[in-house]
Amino acid sequence: MKFLLTSAGIKNTSIHHALVDLLGQPIAESSALCIPTGMYPFPNGGIGAYRFISGTASSPMCELGWKSLGVLELTALPSIDEEAWVGAVQETDALLVWGGDVLYLCDWMRRSGLAALLPSLSETVYVGVSAGSMVTAPTFGETYHDPTTPFVIEKGLGLVDFALLPHLDHEDHPESTTARVERMAADIPVPTYGIDDQTAIKVVDGTVDVVSEGHWKLFAP
């Protein structure tokens, strides 16, 4: 599987070019499935999920001009036959994984069966936003928007060998200052990238490249 792990979607030309490079073809010739599940635990989560799917959210993903776009709702998958959705996942070019509550998203990735399927998708491009990126790590940390609370450190999906903390130094994310991220990274037993909304991490066959028109920092464990 190939990865483009973003803080806030396809926010600039460099990240857009990285996505096209991973797809190996224009977006207009590529299919995608979007996963809104992580948004539901938040207030007005249903509205946030709709904005993501309809392409009106502030983090560009679904509105990029895909040849085809479908919705993969993780909470529905355990109640339907695998043959109804596994083939669609295997055939799509990209999975667009929205942000939200990383603990909730990680839980439903596992409960739905998608987490077990992902390692077999060698040609699929996994495009994450915020929590959708964080969940790929072996271990992730979260503060849930309150910089005064203790860190929550949990086991991730282990799809990549590093952790990622998004929205670095964003004015609307006081939990993601460089100092705060550095403190959290010290509790995570793998290298941790802090990235701002103009940065993405590109991973192909284990090789990591930072794509940025903003700022980022790598913290040692």
Residue 42 has pLDDT above 90, yes or no: no
Name every residue whose Cβ is closer than 8 Å to that of residue 128 and which is 6 or more positions away in sequence.
3, 4, 5, 6, 97, 99, 134, 135, 136
Band (123; pLDDT cuts 50, 70, 90): very high
Task: Count CA atoms closer than 13 A to 17's CA, side-chain side.
Answer: 8
Phi, psi dihedrals of residue 25, rounded to the nearest 5° = -165, 165
What's the pLDDT score for residue 176?
73
User: Stretch 151-167: mean pLDDT, rounded?
Assistant: 89
Length of the chain: 221
Model confidence at 146, pLDDT cuts 50, 70, 90, reads: low
Rounded alpha-carbon distances, angstroms, from residue 81 to 23, 134, 172, 187 = 29, 28, 41, 40
List the CATH code of the domain at 2-219. 3.40.50.880
CB 162 within 8 A of CB 137: yes
pLDDT at position 143 is 60
pLDDT of residue 145: 53
Average pLDDT over residues 11-17: 97
Residue 55 burial by Cβ neighbours in a 10 Å radius (0-12, 13-18, 19+): middle
Query: At 24, is the pLDDT very low, low, confident or very high (cuts 50, 70, 90)?
Result: very high
CB 163 within 8 A of CB 182: no
Mean pLDDT for all residues in the chain: 92
Q: Is the pLDDT of residue 174 over 80?
A: no
pLDDT in tens, 25-39: 999 999 999 999 999
Burial of residue 121 (CB within 10 Å: 0-12, 13-18, 19+) is: middle
Report the pLDDT value the prediction gives residue 37, as an integer from 0 to 100: 97
Query: Could you give the residue ranges of the DSSP H alpha helices within 92-200?
Result: 102-112, 114-117, 131-134, 178-185
Asked if residues 49 and 84 have their Cβ atoms less than 8 Å apart, the reply is no
Whether the per-residue pLDDT at 157 is higher than 80: the answer is yes
The whole-angstrom separation of Cα 111 and Cα 117 is 12
pLDDT at 99: 93
pLDDT of residue 144: 57
pLDDT bracket for residue 127 (50, 70, 90): very high
CA distance 49 to 73: 11
Helices (H), the chain: 13-23, 45-54, 86-91, 102-112, 114-117, 131-134, 178-185
Dig out the tokens for 134 from the structure: 């964080």
Q: What angle do CA 194, 75, 144 make, to 5 degrees?
A: 30
Domains of the chain, by residue range, sit at 2-219
**What would the mean pLDDT of 9-16 be, rounded to a whole number?**
97
Q: pTM for the full model? A: 0.93
Look at residue 173 and tell me whether its pLDDT is greater than 80: no
pLDDT digits (tens, 9 = 90+) for 202-214: 999 999 999 999 9
